[in-house]
Structure 1
Amino acid sequence: MQLYNKLSAKERAELIEKAGKDRLTLSFYQYAKIKNPHEFRDHLFVTWNTLDVLGRIYVALEGINGQLSLPADRFNEFKEHLDTIDFLKDIRLNIAVEQDNMSFLKLKVKVRNKIVADGLNDDTFDVTNKGIHLKAEDFNKFIEDENTVLVDMRNHYESEIGHFKNAVTPDVDTFRESLNIIEEDLKEHKEDKNLVMYCTGGIRCEKASAYFKHKGFKNVFQLEGGIIEYTRQVKEQNLENKFLGKNFVFDERRAEKISDDIIAKCHQCGEPFDVHTNCANDACHLLFIQCDKCKAEMENCCSTICMEINRLPFEEQKAMRKGQGNSNDIFNKGRADHLPYKKDLRNIFDHFKNEEA
């Protein structure tokens, strides 16, 4: 029984190219009590591997979180399999705004402690007491209300390239960081303001809305299905699109274009640009925004030092790294002192205070 990948990303890409079939990229999540995550994980891998599913799926005692792609002509088979699982029957599947056959190149089904790293003790509050879900039309109305505080529950590198008009975008590296910041900065408005949240597909807001209700916020709302579902409803119902820029995604596409607005800038020269890249130096691998001109001049590197290292023969680079470990930048996303135009720090309270002034 095959329970792991046997092909490299390069080999998989070649097979996809050779097959010549269109693939669908989609995502879904569900909070549910899974008694044996390891057994469930193996069942999913075996079944989905036969359907040529590729992607990144997390399974935990609390549920499942999946981002994946599959051949478009096998979608019905995939959906039929989901419907055989009680808590996944008729689940909403967020179909990607922009499709790319190479969005995922491996099938990874992993057992985790949580399907989203939120740092919360779920035993201390009722995770099922969630906020009110808003569809796109109602969401548009709410965010124009002066009594609404709209908060982006994503990380700084996600909101930097795209966010909703008038949204507060916490300058955080992880979801768990934003929870305490939001509670502290909005503690004086737990009863008199509407706290409206959004994220990529809705999963972060599911837990956050329950947490903030537990913390005393009276009027808690969340965008149903996140930015992905919002975009679908806007197009389907011909609604005004209030999202500016791109939606960051965690696959090979890196982003989906939601509007023509370019709200970010190249981290090296400051010109308007919103495409992320990874530094070509494998010991750095920093994720940052780099325009085409800088990419050519800097050879897809984030600094002259990385460029010089990347020019060395591979074996020499490997020898230099031996025993040294990777640079901390390998874990960073748009955070490096040598990037002169990295995103400026933003504070929720200062933003909100300016809105009230």
Structure 2
Amino acid sequence: MESNESSSIEYEFTILALYQFLDHKLAPEVVADRRDQLEAFLRPKTARGMIILAQEGINGTICFPSEHRDAIMTHLLHDFPNLRTRLSYHKENVFFRLKVRIKSEIVTLGVNATASDPTLQVGTYVEPGDDWDKLLQDPNCLVVDTRNEYEYQVGTFHNAINPHTHSFVDFPEWIQNNMDQMKQVTKVAMFCTGGIRCGKATAYCMNLLKDSPQKPEIFHLKGGILGYLDAVPAEKSLFKGECYVFDRRTAVQHGLKPSTSYVPCHACRHPLTAEDRLHPDYEKGVSCHVCIDSRQTRRERYESRQKQMKLWDTHLHDRKERKLQNQLQRVDSATGVSNTGSLLIEGST
């Protein structure tokens, strides 16, 4: 488990990014059982965020009161003992609700599963710091940002190539179209936010190159950009800008401190600077210069959602969490004892 412990003193909430690719795939019924057990365990602890379960493993980011950190980590590690994790901290919960979903992939690349399986083949992990920086400055190394266009624009590494993708499922086509460029160098180094996308990207790249006589060595950054920003001080860093994250913080800086430069458009999630918010197309919660041309029906939905967002301080967004809180209040009223956070739900462990 890796974390920025210095920040935990300031903030009451822990943000846990996690993933693991499993060597042995889970049976569908096991995935379903783990989904039910995990949600039942997390919900009483007011954890929020998104966790994806699949036969190939687990992926997600959740946020919860820091007092529950040890219990949540113990529960997750019981089922996923080789879980890769990254901890950071914030003054409030960075998500609105909890979702635990079952999907066919824990991160969707959309190609043959065997061809992109990181448990069969994967790039060489490189620790954040001097070793990674040497690759960034090596003229014989092709540095590839595997993230999407809007993420790249918020911040990226020195010398990194922008594939101009809008979704991770676009990335295989970019790799296929740039095979010749990869064969002309001796090294290819890939990176992403936390490491999971690079697991599949490097595996797929190695699969395509396996029969080629010209085969560069494939690397990827251990722990992703988050690991680098956590480990490397700003004055020594080759990362320029901030790292986009998929929660209310929008982006993080060195030391995994929340961004002071960006807020999300609540309609399309595009990161917006202060200048962007002065644009005539910007209407809080409804549109920005990126999504202004959305269909009118979508605008009406966003306008309605923005009204609900204004109620955030006094109303919970998550209906299941609201139901649980009502149950807890009834228990408190009946017994005269505070049971908040300890109600046992059927199916929890």
TM-score by length of 1: 0.68
Q: Is 1:295 matched with 2:277?
A: yes
Residues 33-48 of structure 1: pairs in structure 2 closer than 5 A: 33-35=25-27, 36-48=30-42
Match of 2:212 in 1: none
1:57 counterpart SS class: strand
Q: Is 1:234 matched with 2:232?
A: yes
Aligned partners of 2:149, 2:169: CA distance in 1, in Å?
13
Q: Is 1:257 matched with 2:257?
A: no
Match of 1:278 in 2: 265
Aligned partners of 2:292, 2:74: CA distance in 1, in Å?
49
Aligned partners of 2:78, 2:276: CA distance in 1, in Å?
51
Identity rate of aligned residues, in percent? 28
Residues 1-357 of structure 1: pairs in structure 2 closer than 5 A: 22-32=12-22, 33-35=25-27, 36-85=30-79, 88-89=80-81, 91-96=83-88, 99-124=90-115, 127=118, 128-137=120-129, 138-190=131-183, 192-216=185-209, 217-235=215-233, 240-258=236-254, 275-278=262-265, 285-292=267-274, 295-296=277-278, 298=280, 299-300=283-284, 301-302=287-288
2:84 counterpart SS class: coil
What letter matches 1:26 in structure 2?
A: L
Stretch moving more, 121-130 or 146-155: 121-130
Q: Which runs of 5+ in 1 are unaligned?
A: 1-19, 260-272, 280-284, 319-357
Deviation at 1:50, TM superposition (A): 2.7
Match of 1:345 in 2: none
Deviation at 1:31, TM superposition (A): 0.8
Q: CA RMSD in A?
A: 3.1
8 Å contact kept, 2:117–2:200: no
Aligned partners of 1:123, 1:297: CA distance in 2, in Å?
46
Which structure has more relative contact order (CA 8 Å, sep 6+)? It is 2
Offset from partner CA, 1:152-198 (integer Å, 9 cap, x none):
00000001010001100111101121222133224243364211000
1:212 counterpart SS class: helix
Aligned partners of 2:106, 2:269: CA distance in 1, in Å?
23
1:169 counterpart SS class: coil
Distance 1:290 1:135, change over 3 A: closer
Offset from partner CA, 1:13-34 (integer Å, 9 cap, x none):
xxxxxxx981111201001122
1:77 counterpart SS class: helix
Deviation at 1:240, TM superposition (A): 2.0
Aligned length: 271
Deviation at 1:286, TM superposition (A): 3.5
What letter matches 1:208 in structure 2?
A: A
1:251 counterpart SS class: coil
8 Å contact kept, 1:274–1:289: no
What letter matches 1:89 in structure 2?
A: P
Deviation at 1:258, TM superposition (A): 3.3
Distance 1:215 1:291, change over 3 A: closer
8 Å contact kept, 2:230–2:254: no
Aligned partners of 1:197, 1:229: CA distance in 2, in Å?
14
Distance 1:156 1:42, change over 3 A: same
Aligned partners of 1:252, 1:58: CA distance in 2, in Å?
19
Offset from partner CA, 1:284-303 (integer Å, 9 cap, x none):
x2344544355356344436
Distance 1:302 1:239, change over 3 A: closer
Aligned partners of 1:274, 1:34: CA distance in 2, in Å?
42
Deviation at 1:126, TM superposition (A): 5.3
Match of 1:265 in 2: none
TM-score by length of 2: 0.70
Aligned partners of 1:306, 1:93: CA distance in 2, in Å?
37
1:232 counterpart SS class: helix
Aligned partners of 2:292, 2:124: CA distance in 1, in Å?
48
What letter matches 2:242 in structure 1?
A: K
Distance 1:90 1:293, change over 3 A: closer
What letter matches 2:103 in structure 1?
A: R
Q: Which runs of 5+ in 2 are unaligned?
A: 1-9, 210-214, 305-349
Deviation at 1:233, TM superposition (A): 1.9
Offset from partner CA, 1:301-344 (integer Å, 9 cap, x none):
436x969x99xxx79x88xxxxxxxxxxxxxxxxxxxxxxxxxx
What letter matches 2:106 in structure 1?
A: I
What letter matches 1:231 in structure 2?
A: L
